[in-house]
């Protein structure tokens, strides 16, 4: 791989993928809507070409894809726009890759797996989602799997890490960094996975470098499961934060949803905080190599330091 296009480069995972690729001396086209933000993130990186545009404009995508070997699809859009826009977005990305005759690596989540039946979920586990967004992810997967170019899809749990803005842990960390009253979404006693974005970026870039990884789905789990209480304890120690962190319940989000459409969309995904889905990464380790893993203490510390510096 000599040159790659990262769609959604200003988001948490997109940012991490750009950093990982450029760190490997690979030229990168960083694509997102806002040039100013891209310039802030990558303006000093000589391996990165900044390209602002609209993912729903096929000409913008085609221009960005000129001369690349692989497209990384890491675009995230608000929940409220999923039903209307996600299928068009995936068709645009796949169509761009087909027209440019390049490979496609997709950043996906765990919604398509639906509720956990206990134990870890592997790539052969049935995709039988009970949520609207899970069903949309299944549809998007079918669009991608029917593409006429090599495609790989990586499934990730919830993210945290530098420049990760729209994540549940970010909601907690932002207030803690500001030494303000903070809240944690979901039961603090439940253990679940949170993936450090630089680890996820290393994993999907490694996949993209292996020819046999295409045409398949891959699970990328986190280091291990961790409870909300353990996360809060690590963050408190790192920040010398002394306030209590309260819990955001489903009822509270439902109430907020009366006034906020985005909150209404969040409610159906809260099952993940009550019935955590844990990914099995044995296929990756068997066929690609050891999964990148950063201990939570280290990853949370780096994330909080980034937030203190740039927010």
- Res 261: pLDDT: 57
Assess whether 88 and 127 both reside in one domain: yes
Rounded mean pLDDT of 116-145?
A: 93
Give the Å distances, CA to CA, from 153 to 103, 106, 150, 217: 11, 5, 10, 5
Please, what is the average pLDDT of the chain? 94
Rounded mean pLDDT of 228-234?
A: 98
Assess whether 90 and 100 both reside in one domain: yes
User: Could you tell me how many residues make up the chain?
Assistant: 311
- Res 59: pLDDT: 97
Q: Does residue 198 register a pLDDT over 90?
A: yes
Q: Which candidate, 38, 69, 36, 33, places its Cα nearest to that of 53?
A: 33
In a domain, 200, yes or no: yes
Rounded mean pLDDT of 244-272?
A: 75
Assess whether 100 and 236 both reside in one domain: no
pLDDT, tens digit, 9 for 90 and up, residues 48-65? 999 999 999 999 999 999
Rounded mean pLDDT of 216-235?
A: 96
Which residues make Cβ contacts (< 8 Å) with residue 113, sequence separation at least 6?
121, 125, 127, 129, 134, 155, 277
Assess whether 153 and 239 both reside in one domain: no
Assess whether 111 and 207 both reside in one domain: yes
In a domain, 303, yes or no: no
According to DSSP, residue 212 is labeled: G
Rounded mean pLDDT of 158-169?
A: 93
Look up the domain containing 183 and give its range: 168-189+226-273
Which residues make Cβ contacts (< 8 Å) with residue 126, sequence separation at least 6?
none
In a domain, 311, yes or no: no
Is pTM, for the whole model, over 0.85? yes
Assess whether 213 and 246 both reside in one domain: no
Assess whether 39 and 149 both reside in one domain: yes
| CB count in 10 Å sphere of residue 30 | 29
Q: Does residue 254 register a pLDDT over 90?
A: no
Rounded mean pLDDT of 266-272?
A: 84
CA–CA distance, 157 with 110 (Å, rounded to integer): 6
- Res 256: pLDDT: 61
The CATH number that applies at residue 62 is 3.40.50.720
In a domain, 300, yes or no: no
Rounded mean pLDDT of 88-107?
A: 98
The more confident residue out of 116 and 219 is: 219
Assess whether 208 and 268 both reside in one domain: no
Specify the residue for token string 């726009």: 81
Assess whether 124 and 182 both reside in one domain: no
- Res 257: pLDDT: 54
- Res 270: pLDDT: 85
CA–CA distance, 159 with 203 (Å, rounded to integer): 14
In a domain, 302, yes or no: no
CA–CA distance, 277 with 271 (Å, rounded to integer): 9
Tell me which H or E stretch contains 239. helix 228-239
Q: What are phi and psi of 155, to 5 degrees?
A: -100, 125
In a domain, 180, yes or no: yes
Assess whether 177 and 281 both reside in one domain: no
Q: Does residue 258 register a pLDDT over 80?
A: no
Assess whether 110 and 68 both reside in one domain: yes
In a domain, 304, yes or no: no
What domain count does the chain have? 2
In a domain, 308, yes or no: no
What would the two tokens of residue 298 be? Answer: 């280290």
The more confident residue out of 309 and 118 is: 309
Rounded mean pLDDT of 288-295?
A: 96
Assess whether 52 and 114 both reside in one domain: yes
Rounded mean pLDDT of 250-259?
A: 67
Give the Å distances, CA to CA, from 248 to 18, 99, 110, 152, 196: 33, 46, 22, 36, 23
């Amino acid at each position: 791989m000599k040159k790659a296009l990262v769609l959604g480069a200003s988001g948490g995972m997109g940012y991490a993928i750009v950093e990982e690729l450029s760190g490997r001396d690979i030229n990168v086209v960083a694509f997102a809507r806002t040039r100013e933000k891209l310039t802030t993130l990558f303006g000093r990186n000589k391996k990165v070409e900044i390209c602002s545009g609209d993912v729903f404009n096929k000409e913008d995508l085609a221009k960005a894809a000129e001369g690349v070997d692989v497209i990384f699809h890491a675009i995230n859009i608000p929940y409220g726009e999923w039903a209307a826009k996600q299928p068009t977005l995936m068709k645009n990305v796949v169509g761009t890759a087909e027209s440019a005759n390049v490979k496609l690596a997709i950043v996906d989540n765990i919604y398509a797996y639906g509720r956990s039946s206990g134990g870890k979920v592997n790539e052969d586990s049935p995709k039988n989602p009970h949520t609207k967004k899970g069903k949309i992810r299944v549809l998007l997967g079918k669009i991608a799997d029917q593409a006429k170019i090599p495609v790989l899809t990586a499934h990730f749990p919830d993210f945290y890490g530098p420049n990760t803005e729209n994540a549940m842990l970010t909601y907690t960390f932002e207030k803690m960094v500001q030494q303000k009253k903070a809240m944690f979404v979901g039961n603090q006693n439940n253990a679940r996975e949170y993936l450090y974005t630089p680890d996820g970026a290393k994993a999907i870039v490694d996949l993209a470098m292996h020819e046999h990884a295409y045409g398949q789905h891959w699970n990328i789990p986190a280091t291990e499961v961790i409870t909300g209480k353990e996360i809060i304890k690590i963050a408190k120690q790192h920040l010398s934060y002394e306030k209590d962190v309260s819990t955001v319940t489903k009822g509270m989000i439902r109430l907020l949803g009366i006034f906020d459409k985005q909150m209404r969309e969040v409610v159906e995904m809260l099952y993940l905080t009550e019935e955590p889905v844990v990914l099995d990464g044995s296929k990756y380790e068997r066929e690609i190599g050891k999964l990148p893993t950063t201990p939570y203490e280290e990853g949370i510390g780096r994330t909080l330091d980034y937030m203190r510096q740039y927010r």
